[in-house]
Amino acid sequence: MKSVSSCIELDTGRGISLHDLMADIRDAVAGSGIRNGFVTVTSQHTTTAITINEHETRLIEDVKAFLARLIPPGDRYLHNDIQLRDCPPDEPENAHSHLASMLLGSSEVISLVNGDLVLGQYQSVMLVELDGPRQRKVSVQVYGE
Amino acid sequence: MKSVSSCIELDTGRGISLHDLMADIRDAVAGSGIRNGFVTVTSQHTTTAITINEHETRLIEDVKAFLARLIPPGDRYLHNDIQLRDCPPDEPENAHSHLASMLLGSSEVISLVNGDLVLGQYQSVMLVELDGPRQRKVSVQVYGE
Amino acid sequence: MKSVSSCIELDTGRGISLHDLMADIRDAVAGSGIRNGFVTVTSQHTTTAITINEHETRLIEDVKAFLARLIPPGDRYLHNDIQLRDCPPDEPENAHSHLASMLLGSSEVISLVNGDLVLGQYQSVMLVELDGPRQRKVSVQVYGE
């Protein structure tokens, strides 16, 4: 059993944006030389998430609208009282981003069989930026033989 | 470290339905000969999800009612403008199913110790169908020794 | 590839509470002798969840308020008709806790590189208690070399 660790770095869009990671993940798999095993994808931030779904332009707009309705950024959140917390003065008011991150989840695991990720036709692994724009990192590990 | 890959295929119910996968997963574990390691379960569709919870008839009805209230199928979603997208004419209007899939998540990982999945008394791994009825596939992999 | 299985046991707070598991997970990693691989964290209950986010006092209060608004405990749920189900008479009315558990998810997987968990500065793996106080168990497994 081999294990190859890598990191995807990307610059994200403003507010909420969804970034297709498939090309980077396939590169990581190809570079690992591993053909059977699995891949773990874990976000390294508390205001991003990892999701597997269809990377379709109009659906992405639906995700943004849905999250803004479900967890309105303008609602009252205690975490947004920056002056009451021990943090830098440029800390953003992003409690809604943390809450969305928890709902969407920070990791997914995908099987790898004969060099291919076991995913359906429309499935893409995506980073969900919830408080952009930022520079973000996603941990990708490939395990197997 | 051994790795055994398998696929559960099932026909799902109409609209939202929850399908207990425990018998199939236990079969996959028994068939693998692996007694210590872990199991990954990943859905292969963008309008299904994997969840671990209690497979109880009345709770399943609560899940259906809750999701219908949280993400009303009749709301306005851009993804449902089928004629504006490059897709088959029989494409269903299922933006709400995609959104629910993202919230619930597409994979879970469960430890395997001495031949048993490390799950609590009431925990079942389930496929959540969010846009049925359909034929669905779930990827199950058993890793270990 | 080595695999070391362990279990975190903890007493949780009343109602909803978030418990930082990082010290216990780091102990499990150190005790395993494994330096490169990954760690899986899976909750063993149907009214708890595993999340990775910032363990910040005011944000935790926001999580409690958000979940209570999203899934009101006092709403009508079929699962709460205890007398219609085959269960002990002291069964709690906790349908809302099950629903929150499904949204938040039951497992996460984190990479381990050179002895360190690959997590961002503000990320903590937490158990989310959704129906406390209770005695709870979390399965932690460390894999690698």
The residue among B75, B79, B80, B138 with the most chain A CBs within 10 A of its CB, best to mutate, is B79
Q: Is the ipTM value over 0.90, yes or no?
A: yes
**pLDDT digits 0-9 by tens, B88-143:** 878 899 999 999 999 999 999 999 999 999 999 999 999 999 999 999 999 999 99
C-beta of residue A35 within 8 angstroms of C-beta of residue A115: yes
**pLDDT digits 0-9 by tens, B29-66:** 999 999 999 999 999 999 999 999 999 999 999 999 99
Q: Is the dihedral of CA A76, B62, B128, C94 positive or negative?
A: positive
Q: Which of residues 71-130 of A touch C (CB under 8 A)?
A: 71, 77-79, 81, 84-85, 95, 98-99, 101-103, 105-107, 109
**pLDDT digits 0-9 by tens, B19-30:** 999 999 999 999
Give the pLDDT confidence score for residue A1 in this predicted structure: 76
Buried b (16+ CB within 10 A) or exposed e, C55-90: bbeebbbbbbbbbeebbebeeebbbbeeeeeeeeee
Contact between chains at C45 and B110 (C-beta distance less than 8 A): no
Residue A60 CA to residue B77 CA, distance in Å, equals 10
Model pTM?
0.97
C-beta of residue A123 within 8 angstroms of C-beta of residue A19: no
Q: What is the mean pLDDT of each run of 10 residues along chain C (145 residues)?
A: 93 97 98 96 97 97 98 97 85 95 96 96 98 98 94
Nearest Cα of chain B lies from the Cα of C86 at a distance, in angstroms, of 10
